[in-house]
Amino acid sequence: MKVKRVVVTGLGTINPLGLNVEDTWKELCAGKSGVELVTHINTDDLPVKIAGQVKGFDVLDYIDLKEAKRMDQYCHYAIASAVQAMENSGIQDNIDPDKLGVITGTGIGGMQTFESQTQIFLEKGPRRTSPLFIPMMISNIAAGQIAIRFSAKCINFNVTSACTSSANAIGEAYRGIKYGAADAVIAVGSEAAITRLTLAGFSIMRALSTRNDSPHTASRPFDKERDGFVLSEGAAALILEEYEHAKARGAHIYAELVGYGATCDAFHITMPAPGGEGGAHAMRNAIEDAGITPEDIQYINAHGTSTPLNDSSETAAIKSVFGDYAYTLKVNSSKSMIGHALGAAGALESMILIKSLQDQMIHPTINLTTPDPECDLDYNPEKTIPLEIEYGISNSFGFGGT
């Protein structure tokens, strides 16, 4: 069977730096941080009071009030980014609905709904629980809502694999098109988990930065003084399309997706495997799938969480795959400005990689001021720079060893 080529023809996003792709890219290139003190929940008794919050978003720009009230915030973000991407692609009236799919990725799903309904259940009893509790909370509901919005009747499911969720969603969409199951797929990552319970849970694990007095400098990937990640929220959507289908309708092609690798450390529920062997395995698989060599790649958008273990193990993984060439590569972390959007991170960072390819430049990794001997690659710490890029990689690593 002849495999198909897969290209990206549409982009959309809602995140702490911007409510669309171009504003987000502008802020990233300017080195702006979207991390601030949390404003919409009470953090007085929480050890962490900072996060990357979406600002200025009006759900009524995308969904009518009655329907919006029947959805969790993560679903709002997912639909908004999908609407942007579909409009950007111009594919809506140029595809058979039976060949248009939706694959979403979320690590937590309707956490705001879960937390608020649990409180109602405990305080007022089961009879006061909302009949919409389950359909608002379940993690695949964004995929269903997007499908309804665009009459997408092909493959439809959600991937939940912690912080690799939407990277896996994009990868599975790529495979669906590559092997002929769909002509196009709306691939979306979304998360809206800045809640008291989520902050408490990550805090008690000591996974989060506690730099409450300096939110903008809290996320500092690969820096020696990093002390944890900064929780974030938002969404990004990519329209993946079969190349000949896109070409026939005269679509603008942002990039071609040529390789995907997905592995598991099979080592520990939260810690990465020693030496980053799982991440190295995934990168090797993606490179092999693409039919290229490591030396064909110029740039890696790293997972780069700002946690001590992740950043050192990811650096080790890159050096394992690329050898001495690792020191020639450019690497950066978008989480230094956006924070860590959990299951949405892979889609957000894939979108950013595509913008880097399109504009032939990469944004800085901000807050990298104290070198770490274990993190000794070129993370572009100073400013946005021009870079000739033919191939780039987006890394995503998650709990459970994904």
Catalytic residues: 163, 303, 340
3-state SS assignment for residue 222: coil
Residues 6+ apart with CB under 8 A from 266: 273, 278, 401
Total number of residues shown for the chain: 402
- The span from the CA of 190 to the CA of 17, in Å, is 15
Alpha-carbon distance 52 to 61, whole Å? Answer: 22
78/231 Cα distance (integer angstroms): 18
Beta strands 255-257; 50-52: pairing state: unpaired
Q: Among 369, 367, 304, which residue's Cα sits nearest to residue 330?
A: 304
C-alpha 251/C-alpha 91 separation (Å) is 8
Cβ neighbourhood burial of 135 (10 Å; 0-12, 13-18, 19+)? middle
Task: Quote the CA–CA distance of 396 and 272 in Å, as a whole number.
Answer: 12
Give the separation between CA 83 and CA 66, rounded to whole angstroms.
Answer: 18
In this structure, are residues 61 and 216 in contact, taking their beta carbons and an 8 Å threshold? no
- Compute the distance between CA of residue 393 and CA of residue 94 in angstroms, rounded to an integer: 30
Q: What CA–CA distance (Å, rounded) separates 284 from 131?
A: 47
Q: Measuring CA to CA, which residue among 51, 104, 115, 50 is closest to residue 77?
A: 104
